[in-house]
């Protein structure tokens, strides 16, 4: 017996529909919106780049079979519907009719098949297909995925916006990695990409909105391009982004420094748009070497940390204290392990330290200046550790170097690695907790051998049948990870975006969504 | 003259070879690799290992070196890993921005630096001399980044006369190019103009004390002829050396200016390439920039030969 899996989709549709009684129509059309983006764009190949700068732009032009709504639920995008077979070994997707690529060609299952073929060959997250036996296109509107074994989380993985399986015309399937031609089905199409300078896209007049919805929701929903063109201009200097917004040369920008935001609050021409829960600021221990291989030492560190001070320095005040690896608005959120968080008690820390094997040797905090929150949080943590008698020293390198150092098995070059987890926590508990299992578990166990208790709970998160059961498994895993001090999540960072006051419909999200955004006057 | 040029070109070859060797080795010696840049902030070791294998970065050092020099001998500088296009194309796309900026800044440098240096020398120890040298000192002392920020606040935010950043190609909109490049060029030129003014002043003062200047004045030549024909012509030789150095400084100093004003030039390209460990882009791009600087030096040598007959006779 086949079971129709439209529950989440129906709920999402209702939620989106209830926000407004009628289908969205642009109050005004036309105009060019110039968005000041902080990072350079290397490539618009959404299948082979995991950078935020690529996603910011490419996700306005590409679409996928499944995506996520405003609340991170999986919803169909280019799929009309999908079914999971009773044995959970087959997923059948019916495609939306009349969807056209930017080259005018109508999308069929042959294009979906070719897109999956390319992703399976070069896609960054192709490991999601490990349990996939194969795929086929029995007719022009149907696409079928066959599994080797049931995988309850498959749709969750497939709808991930981290490195999504975007659907491209079949004739692009052999485009080399990083060189995919930018032809998608999105509401905007590429006009020009000048590396280092800007990307310009224009409204795609052949775009067919998803009429299952009435409003934009998350990455999907009912999308309409109200703007004639959108220009993403690379403005790496924060002060230049602020100046551009103040002069009106830029209509919207990302990552406004806190001090500039304070000055802008009284500017009637500018609307500040804080985007909470942008990432989890975190330090990860290297448990392959002393003294961080000693649980008592790690507990001493845990007890020494005061999260307000760390987050305040890291973010200039734009933060929210947050327990664990999910955010309160997410269904999977749990505060399990909260007793390990923000202890900030030097006496307890010294007690654990006395019980540990620590002999006063240097403890290396590996950080970088490319991401100031990482550097600043390391700086404060160094002071807090020194205050309880730990000889904490900073090792400051650039980001690629710190990544490589941190990922070496049995590395002796660091004790704590500083990073930020953005996309994975936003995607949900499963992709986040993937960080704690081999290969490359982020607490760097000796010889990359998993802690069997952590691994067992991660397996439960993957295999339990219902979402509620999987969420409970996540809570248990979070508690275990925190109790064994395999991670030190400091809190949630808020990213401040801003727009000119005449920009309407711009709601901060994981990417700057340009559909359903319009300019007044 | 042709002999001078040929000798200089021949002596440039080892320079290019040494630069390419150093660049190749340094890029491989420093930790980090392009896989981390592609994989982004949420990179997992599995993802990075997969990208390394996809890009052939897991091959031994010598194999990669042999491959790079083999391609170089066939005239190929390779393909940028991050941009996914040939290094030559990526470089020549950005070159007009940096060359345009440097040329504009150079014109400003020469105008401001030479004129104020000459006037200061001719009016030594007067108020004019002191004002000119005070401005020169400010130009030298003020970081171009800070000057650029001040100009953005004044001319873009408060007065609205000039755009705060961004690039407009000269051929599509010359006036737009002029507006977009004025603040970056001024911020880049001020340091060099200050330097050139001080060098010009001291060189002119030294020349003006020479016997042949006294002779020229004694035989009744008009002051303008003495200054331009006899004094400046002789002072230009050391000044030309400085101008050659200034051109090199401008191209390398454009990194900061390009970042501040969001100009897609060579500085930005190479900075991003280094940060992203885009080996072919750094190696090939630096080789091309080195060749450009070598060419500038050859032109300076040619200018010597034109200005000073003794060089031609050597």
> What share of chain A in percent tops pLDDT 90?
72
What's the pLDDT tens digit per position in A162-218?
899 999 999 999 998 888 999 999 999 999 998 888 999 999 999 999 999 999 999
Interface of A with B in 428-457 (CB under 8 A): 434-435, 439-440
A90-95 and A79-84 beta bridge pairing: antiparallel
Q: What per-residue confidence (pLDDT) applies to A316? A: 87
Please determine, for the modelled complex, whether the ipTM score is greater than 0.90.
Answer: no
Q: What phi, psi does A443 have (nearest 5°)? A: -90, 10
Q: Cα(A13)–Cα(A393) distance, rounded to whole angstroms?
A: 52
H helices of B74-126, where? 87-122
The pLDDT of B257-278, averaged and rounded, is 87
Closest Cβ opposite residue A400 in set B33, B54, B84: B33
In chain A, which residues have their Cβ closer than 8 Å to the Cβ of B259?
Answer: 236-237
Residue A5 has pLDDT above 60, yes or no: no
Interface test with B, best of A44, A197, A278, A417 (most B CBs within 10 A): A197
Q: Cα(A134)–Cα(A117) distance, rounded to whole angstroms?
A: 10
- Shortest distance, CA B67 to any CA of chain A (angstroms): 20
In chain B, which residues have their Cβ closer than 8 Å to the Cβ of A162?
Answer: 42
What's the pLDDT tens digit per position in B186-202?
999 988 899 899 999 99
Mean of per-residue pLDDT scores for chain B: 85
The pLDDT of A248-274, averaged and rounded, is 90
pLDDT-based confidence at residue A280 (cuts at 50, 70, 90):
very high
Q: How far, in whole angstroms, is CA B228 from its chain's centroid?
A: 28
Q: What per-residue confidence (pLDDT) applies to B36? A: 73
In chain A, which residues have their Cβ closer than 8 Å to the Cβ of B272?
Answer: 40, 42, 196
Interface test with B, best of A35, A49, A240 (most B CBs within 10 A): A240
What's the pLDDT tens digit per position in A490-506?
999 999 999 999 999 99
A254 touches chain B (CB under 8 A): no
pLDDT-based confidence at residue B43 (cuts at 50, 70, 90):
low
Q: What per-residue confidence (pLDDT) applies to B313? A: 58
Q: Cα(B275)–Cα(B290) distance, rounded to whole angstroms?
A: 20
- Shortest distance, CA A83 to any CA of chain B (angstroms): 30
Q: What per-residue confidence (pLDDT) applies to A21? A: 54
Q: What per-residue confidence (pLDDT) applies to A2? A: 41
Q: What per-residue confidence (pLDDT) applies to A391? A: 97
- Shortest distance, CA A121 to any CA of chain B (angstroms): 10
Residue A11 has pLDDT above 60, yes or no: no
CB A41 within 8 A of CB A199: yes
Closest Cβ opposite residue B167 in set A178, A197, A240: A197
What's the pLDDT tens digit per position in A393-430?
999 988 878 887 887 889 999 999 999 998 889 889 99
Interface test with A, best of B44, B47, B55 (most A CBs within 10 A): B44
Q: Cα(B141)–Cα(B27) distance, rounded to whole angstroms?
A: 33
Tell me, letter by letter, the H, E, C secondary structure of A103-153: CCCECCHHHHHHHHHHHHHHCCCHHHHCCEEEEEEEECCEEEEEECCCCCC
H helices of A187-327, where? 238-247, 258-264, 295-304, 307-315
Q: Which residue of B has its CA nearest to A163?
A: B39
CB A219 within 8 A of CB A12: no
Burial classification of residue B4, based on how many CB atoms lie within 10 Å of its CB (0-12 exposed, 13-18 middle, 19 or more buried): middle
CA triplet B279, B281, B282: central angle to 5 degrees? 65
pLDDT-based confidence at residue B42 (cuts at 50, 70, 90):
low
Verify whether the Cβ–Cβ distance B85 to A50 is below 8 Å.
no
What's the pLDDT tens digit per position in B112-168?
998 999 999 888 889 998 998 988 888 888 888 889 989 998 998 888 899 988 888
A403 touches chain B (CB under 8 A): yes
The pLDDT of B177-183, averaged and rounded, is 94
Q: Cα(B225)–Cα(B231) distance, rounded to whole angstroms?
A: 9
Q: What per-residue confidence (pLDDT) applies to B41? A: 64
The pLDDT of B47-53, averaged and rounded, is 76
Global pTM exceeds 0.90: no
Verify whether the Cβ–Cβ distance B47 to A50 is below 8 Å.
yes
Q: What per-residue confidence (pLDDT) applies to B224? A: 86
Interhelix angle A372-387/A307-315, rounded to 10 degrees, is 150
pLDDT-based confidence at residue B312 (cuts at 50, 70, 90):
low
Contacts of B119 (CB under 8 A, 6+ apart): B128, B129, B132
Provide the 8-state DSSP code for A62.
-
Verify whether the Cβ–Cβ distance B38 to A178 is below 8 Å.
yes
The pLDDT of B33-47, averaged and rounded, is 71
- Shortest distance, CA B187 to any CA of chain A (angstroms): 15
SS3 state of residue A495: strand
Residue A341 has pLDDT above 80, yes or no: yes
CB B40 within 8 A of CB A49: yes
In chain A, which residues have their Cβ closer than 8 Å to the Cβ of B55?
Answer: 177
pLDDT-based confidence at residue A19 (cuts at 50, 70, 90):
very low
Closest Cβ opposite residue B48 in set A249, A398, A407: A407
A194 touches chain B (CB under 8 A): yes
Mean of per-residue pLDDT scores for chain A: 91
Verify whether the Cβ–Cβ distance A243 to B165 is below 8 Å.
yes
Q: Cα(B94)–Cα(B25) distance, rounded to whole angstroms?
A: 25
In chain A, which residues have their Cβ closer than 8 Å to the Cβ of B167?
Answer: 197
What's the pLDDT tens digit per position in B206-217?
888 888 888 988
Residue A112 has pLDDT above 90, yes or no: yes
A162 touches chain B (CB under 8 A): yes
Residue B31 has pLDDT above 90, yes or no: no
Closest Cβ opposite residue B39 in set A124, A179, A397: A124
Most confident of A9-18, A410-419, A459-468, B45-54: A410-419
Q: What per-residue confidence (pLDDT) applies to A498? A: 94
Interface test with A, best of B40, B100, B150 (most A CBs within 10 A): B40
pLDDT-based confidence at residue A475 (cuts at 50, 70, 90):
very high
A198-203 and A188-194 beta bridge pairing: antiparallel
The pLDDT of A125-150, averaged and rounded, is 93
Q: Which of A17-26, A280-289, B294-303 is predicted least confidently? A: A17-26
Interface of A with B in 27-46 (CB under 8 A): 40, 42-43, 45
Q: Which of B27-31, B217-221, B278-282 is predicted least confidently? A: B27-31
What's the pLDDT tens digit per position in B219-254?
888 888 888 888 888 888 888 888 888 888 888 788
């Amino acid at each position: 017996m086949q079971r129709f899996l439209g529950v989440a989709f129906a709920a999402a549709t209702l939620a989106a529909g209830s926000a407004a009684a009628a289908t969205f129509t642009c109050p005004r059309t036309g105009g060019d919106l110039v968005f000041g983006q902080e990072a350079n764009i290397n490539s618009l190949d959404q299948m082979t780049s995991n950078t935020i700068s690529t996603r910011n732009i490419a996700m306005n032009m590409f679409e996928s079979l499944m995506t996520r709504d405003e609340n991170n639920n999986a919803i169909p995008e280019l799929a009309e519907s999908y079914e999971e077979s009773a044995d959970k070994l087959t997923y059948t997707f019916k495609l939306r009719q009349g969807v056209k690529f930017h080259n005018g060609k109508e999308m069929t299952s042959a294009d979906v098949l070719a897109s999956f073929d390319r992703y399976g060959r070069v896609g960054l997250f192709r490991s999601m297909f490990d349990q996939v036996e194969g795929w086929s296109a029995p007719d022009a509107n149907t696409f079928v995925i066959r599994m080797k074994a049931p995988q309850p989380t498959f749709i969750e993985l497939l709808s991930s916006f981290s490195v999504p399986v975007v659907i491209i015309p079949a004739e692009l399937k052999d485009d080399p990695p990083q060189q995919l031609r930018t032809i998608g089905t999105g509401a905007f199409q590429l006009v020009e990409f000048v590396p280092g300078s800007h990307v310009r896209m224009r409204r795609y007049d052949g775009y067919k909105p998803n009429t299952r919805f009435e409003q934009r929701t998350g990455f999907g929903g009912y999308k309409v391009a109200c703007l004639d063109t959108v220009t993403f201009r690379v403005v790496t200097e924060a002060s230049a982004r602020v100046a551009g917004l103040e002069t009106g040369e830029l209509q919207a920008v990302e990552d406004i420094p806190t001090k500039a935001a304070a000055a802008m609050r009284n500017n009637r021409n500018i609307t500040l748009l804080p985007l909470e829960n942008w990432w989890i600021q975190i330090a990860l221990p290297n448990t392959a070497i002393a003294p961080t291989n000693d649980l008592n030492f790690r507990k001493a560190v845990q007890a020494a940390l005061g999260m307000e001070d760390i987050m305040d320095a890291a973010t200039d005040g734009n933060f929210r204290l947050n327990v664990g690896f999910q955010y309160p608005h997410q269904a999977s959120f749990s505060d399990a392990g909260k007793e390990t968080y923000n202890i900030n008690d030097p006496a307890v820390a010294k007690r654990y330290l006395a019980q540990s094997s620590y002999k006063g040797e240097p403890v290396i905090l590996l950080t970088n200046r490319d991401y100031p929150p990482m550097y600043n949080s390391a700086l404060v943590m160094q002071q807090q550790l020194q205050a309880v008698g730990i000889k904490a020293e900073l090792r400051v390198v650039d980001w690629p170097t710190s990544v490589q150092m941190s990922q070496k098995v049995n590395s002796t070059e660091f004790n704590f690695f500083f990073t930020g987890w953005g996309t994975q926590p936003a995607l949900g508990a499963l992709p986040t907790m993937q960080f704690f299992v081999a290969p490359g578990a982020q607490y760097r166990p000796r010889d990359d051998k998993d802690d069997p208790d952590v691994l067992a709970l991660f397996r439960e998160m993957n295999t339990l049948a219902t979402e509620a059961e999987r969420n409970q498994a996540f809570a248990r895993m979070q508690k275990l990870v925190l109790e064994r001090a395999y991670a030190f999540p400091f809190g949630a960072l808020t990213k401040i975006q801003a727009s000119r006051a005449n920009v309407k419909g711009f709601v901060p999200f994981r990417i700057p969504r340009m559909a359903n955004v319009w300019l007044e006057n | 003259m042709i002999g001078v040029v040929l000798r200089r070109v021949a002596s440039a070859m080892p320079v290019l070879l040494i630069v390419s060797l150093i660049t190749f080795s340094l890029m491989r010696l420093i930790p980090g690799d392009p896989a981390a840049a592609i994989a982004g902030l949420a990179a997992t070791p599995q993802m990075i290992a997969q990208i390394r294998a996809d890009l052939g970065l897991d091959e031994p050092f010598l194999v990669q070196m042999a491959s790079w020099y083999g391609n170089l001998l066939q005239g190929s500088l390779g393909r940028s890993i991050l941009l996914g296009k040939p290094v030559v194309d990526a470089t020549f796309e950005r070159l007009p921005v940096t060359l345009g900026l440097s040329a504009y800044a150079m014109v400003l440098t020469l105008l401001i630096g030479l004129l104020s240096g000459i006037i200061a020398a001719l009016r030594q120890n007067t108020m004019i001399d002191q004002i000119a040298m005070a401005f020169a000192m400010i130009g030298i002392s003020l970081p171009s980044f800070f000057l650029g920020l001040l100009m953005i606040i004044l001319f873009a935010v408060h007065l609205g006369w000039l755009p705060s950043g961004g690039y407009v190609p000269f051929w599509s909109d010359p006036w737009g190019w002029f507006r977009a490049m004025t603040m970056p060029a001024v911020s880049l030129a001020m340091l060099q103009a200050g330097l050139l003014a001080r060098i010009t002043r001291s060189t002119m003062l030294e020349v003006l004390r020479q016997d042949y200047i006294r002779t020229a004045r004694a035989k009744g030549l008009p002051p303008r002829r003495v200054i331009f024909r006899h004094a400046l012509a002789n002072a230009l030789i050391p000044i030309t050396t400085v101008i050659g150095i200034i051109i090199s400084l401008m191209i390398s100093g454009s990194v900061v200016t390009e970042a501040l004003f969001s100009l897609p030039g060579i500085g930005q390209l190479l900075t991003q390439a280094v940060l992203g460990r885009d080996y072919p882009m750094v190696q090939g791009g630096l080789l091309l920039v080195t060749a450009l600087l070598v060419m500038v030096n050859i032109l300076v040598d040619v200018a010597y030969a034109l200005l000073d007959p003794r060089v031609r006779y050597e």
